[in-house]
């Protein structure tokens, strides 16, 4: 029988852990969400170290500190403070358009008209700064203006722009920007989506929005289609694939473009610094230390240019590559899978190998999570499957297993501590499995019967009856005398049986049972013993010698009592009884038997052996007489192999035909006197 926990208990533990972890996954507990976001950020940073699919037609026209200084200094032909007139942006539009930019998106808010800005002279005519900007918008025909929920461009600008896109941001609870909202309630699309949609000619007006199933489908000319994975509120995760310093991103400071525009107006020739032809340009700020600062925490860094979200969103639409968070059903499947595998490893393997296997499973799963994110942008959960379904469950199952094994060791110890030697019991308790459910094995069986016990009982009964009659004891006193006599008789036989049992355990035998005044023991199970026959015979020899020593002591004690009793009789006292002198008859046989636990699991188990060879050992004990050891032919053969000197002293007896056996059997007497 395997020493393993009841199947339903660890299965229940595993099921409860898996259920609780699944409930937490569905409930989206903020604490675990934050931890999971940390693993997401780590994966996003890791992905930057591997080649990824990015669009090569994205650009960034940046307003940096040098641009601000250049405008302030007047080197561009005009001098302004921090807040530029709108015509400066108009000149930027003109230059980017002249250099062939495909679409230009402003991450700059034009929330109102600025009539307070000084007009400028164009071809001898004064024109307002806002009007100049509006003319540039209309002339370019490819400008996207920024809007927020609280600040929208006036119609004077919006109607002349190609489109508007919202630049609103909503950070997660830990203050990190990971997501973007596909569109606002007024169906104003994200600036990055609009930027890419203009280039791909996607129809945003007729987008198929299915928030219930977590997707937005955009379709365009030629069968082009993009599916954006979103949550129930329309948010999707930004794939931060392009940093501002990525060489695949076309970058040029705004003051450089304005300088080129001034040269163009003056009719002077120049060579563009970068190639803006066909580019999708995001105009935004990288300046620091002033109101134009646009830095914030993203998965990539604590201080990232937030304008980068726009071209990264546009890149996802252009390439069709989005972050795909695992669905709730997929998360539960992963939790169940890891939970079941952890349970199997925890229960089927020993503690140290099981721990190594669980750690290996955690490593493989972590590598899988990173790998599919890098390659497919599939975001598999790590925290709940690993911490809950794997590590917490492993800890609980190992704890349960430890408690169970302690209980099981106590059970095994209770079964065997009284029937085997301490070193055998220690070996049994140290094993992971014990075959106790019935096995066929070769072992040696011993039956040792205390001779003279029946005569002792009869004599004791006659003596106590005579004592009751002679002293005319009443019923109560008679019962006391009878019980005292029975106790003395039992103590006597127990003295002999205990001596044999101790000798059996000393020689690493398994004490099976007491059958009246007979001891049954065997060698070779539940632990294998290569020399089980020799060990058994030596135990029988030591038992006979120990009984001989015991009897010598009892004879000496009887001699002393005879002297003492004369004095007691003279004094009118009852004489002390003589100590019984008993002998031992032993039968031993070796052969193939069935060993296992017999009995009821609800009551008493007895680890015993049975079979033909066991019966023969019992029959040999029956013919052994007093003070003799009789062994079967197989036991004698084992002695010839393991101890030839002892075998040579054995004396073959006449063959005997035991009861229940069809043929006579050879038997040998083992001398034990020294």
CB 183, CB 175: distance < 8 Å: no
Packed helices 328-348 and 351-376: angle between N→C axes, nearest 10 degrees: 160
The phi, psi pair for 533, rounded to 5°, reads: -65, -45
Model pLDDT, residue 604: 53
Cα separation of 431 and 80, whole Å? 87
Cα angle value 442/599/411 (rounded, 5°): 85
Torsion, Cα 217 220 225 230, to 10 degrees, reads -30
Model pLDDT, residue 313: 97
Within 8 A by CB and 6+ apart from 5, the residues are 347, 400, 401, 404
CB 348, CB 341: distance < 8 Å: no
Within 8 A by CB and 6+ apart from 302, the residues are none
CB 165, CB 188: distance < 8 Å: yes
Q: Which of 219, 250, 251 minimizes the C-alpha distance to 317?
A: 219
Cα separation of 8 and 92, whole Å? 74
Cα separation of 169 and 165, whole Å? 12
Rounded to the nearest integer, the mean pLDDT of the chain is: 87
Q: What's the pLDDT tens digit per position in 270-313?
A: 899 999 999 999 999 887 755 567 889 999 999 899 999 999 99
Domains of the chain, first to last: 8-33+325-407 (no CATH), 54-320 (no CATH), 417-669 (3.30.70.1230)
Q: What's the pLDDT tens digit per position in 555-568?
A: 999 999 899 888 87
- Extract the residue ranges of the chain whose pLDDT is less than 70: 1-7, 78-83, 289-292, 405-437, 599-606
230, two tokens: 């979103």
β-partners of residue 217 are 208, 227
How many Cβ atoms are within 10 Å of 433's Cβ, its own excluded? Answer: 9
Q: Are strands 439-451 and 518-523 parallel, antiparallel or unpaired?
A: antiparallel
- Beta strands (DSSP E) in 372-525 are 378-379, 439-451, 510-515, 518-523
Q: Are strands 439-451 and 583-599 parallel, antiparallel or unpaired?
A: antiparallel
CA 309 to chain centroid: 38
The DSSP 8-state label assigned to residue 111 in this structure reads: -
SS3 24: helix
Cα separation of 215 and 210, whole Å? 5
β-partners of residue 630 are 587, 669
Cα separation of 231 and 325, whole Å? 9
651, two tokens: 């004396």
DSSP per-residue string spanning 391-425: IIHHHHHHHHHHHHHHHHHHHHHHHHTTTS-HHHH
């Amino acid at each position: 029988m395997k020493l393993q926990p009841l199947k339903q208990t660890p299965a229940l533990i595993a099921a409860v852990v898996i259920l609780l972890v699944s409930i937490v996954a569905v409930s989206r507990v903020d604490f675990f969400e934050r931890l999971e976001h940390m693993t997401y950020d780590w994966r996003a940073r890791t992905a930057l170290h591997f080649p990824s699919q990015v669009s090569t037609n994205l650009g960034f026209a940046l307003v940096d500190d040098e641009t601000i200084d250049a405008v302030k200094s007047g080197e561009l032909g005009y001098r302004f403070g921090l807040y530029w007139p709108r015509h400066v942006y108009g000149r930027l539009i003109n230059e980017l358009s002249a250099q062939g930019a495909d679409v230009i998106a402003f991450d700059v808010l034009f929330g109102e008209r600025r009539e307070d800005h000084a007009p400028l002279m164009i071809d001898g005519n004064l024109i307002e700064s806002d009007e100049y900007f509006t003319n540039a918008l209309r002339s370019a025909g490819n400008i996207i203006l920024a809007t927020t929920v609280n600040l929208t461009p006036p119609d004077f600008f919006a109607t002349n722009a190609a489109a508007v896109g919202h630049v609103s941001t909503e950070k997660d609870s830990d203050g990190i920007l990971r997501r973007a909202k596909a569109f606002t309630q007024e169906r104003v699309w994200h600036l990055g989506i609009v930027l890419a949609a203009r280039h791909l000619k996607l129809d945003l007006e007729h987008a198929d929005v299915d928030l219930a199933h977590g997707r937005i489908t955009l379709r365009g000319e030629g069968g082009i289609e993009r599916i954006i994975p979103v949550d129930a509120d329309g948010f999707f995760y930004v794939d931060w694939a392009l940093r501002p310093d990525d060489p695949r991103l076309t970058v040029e400071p705004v003051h450089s473009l304005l300088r080129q525009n001034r040269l163009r107006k003056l009719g002077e020739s120049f060579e563009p610094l970068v190639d803006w032809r066909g580019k999708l340009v995001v105009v935004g700020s990288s300046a620091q230390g002033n109101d134009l600062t646009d830095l914030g925490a993203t998965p990539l860094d604590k201080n990232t240019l937030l304008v980068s979200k726009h071209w990264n969103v546009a890149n996802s639409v252009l390439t069709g590559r989005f972050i795909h968070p695992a669905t709730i059903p997929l998360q539960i499947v992963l939790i169940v899978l890891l939970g079941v595998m952890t349970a199997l490893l925890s229960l089927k393997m020993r503690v140290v190998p099981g721990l190594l296997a669980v750690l290996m499973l955690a490593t493989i799963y972590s590598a899988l999570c990173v790998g599919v994110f890098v390659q497919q942008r599939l975001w598999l959960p790590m925290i709940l499957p690993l911490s809950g379904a794997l590590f917490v469950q492993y800890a609980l199952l190992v704890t349960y297993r430890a408690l169970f094994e302690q209980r099981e060791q106590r059970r095994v110890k209770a079964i065997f501590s009284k029937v085997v030697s301490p070193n055998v019991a220690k070996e049994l308790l140290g094993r992971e499995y014990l075959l106790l459910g019935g096995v066929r094995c070769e072992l040696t069986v011993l039956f040792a019967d205390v001779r003279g016990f029946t005569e002792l009982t009869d004599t004791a009964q006659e003596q106590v009856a005579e004592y009751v009659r002679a002293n005319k004891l009443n019923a109560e006193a008679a019962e006391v005398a009878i019980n005292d006599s029975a106790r003395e008789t039992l103590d006597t036989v127990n003295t002999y049986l205990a001596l044999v049992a101790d000798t059996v355990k000393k020689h690493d035998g398994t004490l099976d049972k007491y059958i009246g005044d007979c001891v049954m023991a065997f060698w070779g199970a539940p632990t294998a013993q290569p020399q089980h026959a020799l060990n058994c015979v030596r135990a029988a020899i030591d038992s006979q010698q120990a009984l001989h020593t015991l009897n010598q002591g009892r004879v000496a004690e009887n001699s002393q009592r005879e002297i003492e009793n004369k004095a007691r009789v003279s004094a009118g006292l009852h004489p002390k009884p003589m100590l019984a002198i008993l002998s031992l008859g032993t039968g031993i046989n070796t052969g193939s038997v069935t060993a296992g636990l017999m009995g009821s699991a609800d009551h008493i188990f007895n680890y015993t052996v049975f079979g033909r060879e066991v019966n023969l050992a019992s029959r040999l004990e029956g013919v052994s007489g007093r003070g003799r050891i009789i062994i079967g032919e197989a036991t004698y053969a084992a002695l010839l192999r393991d101890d030839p000197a002892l075998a040579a002293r054995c004396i073959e007896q006449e063959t005997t035909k035991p009861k229940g056996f069809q043929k006579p059997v050879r038997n040998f007497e083992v001398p034990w006197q020294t």
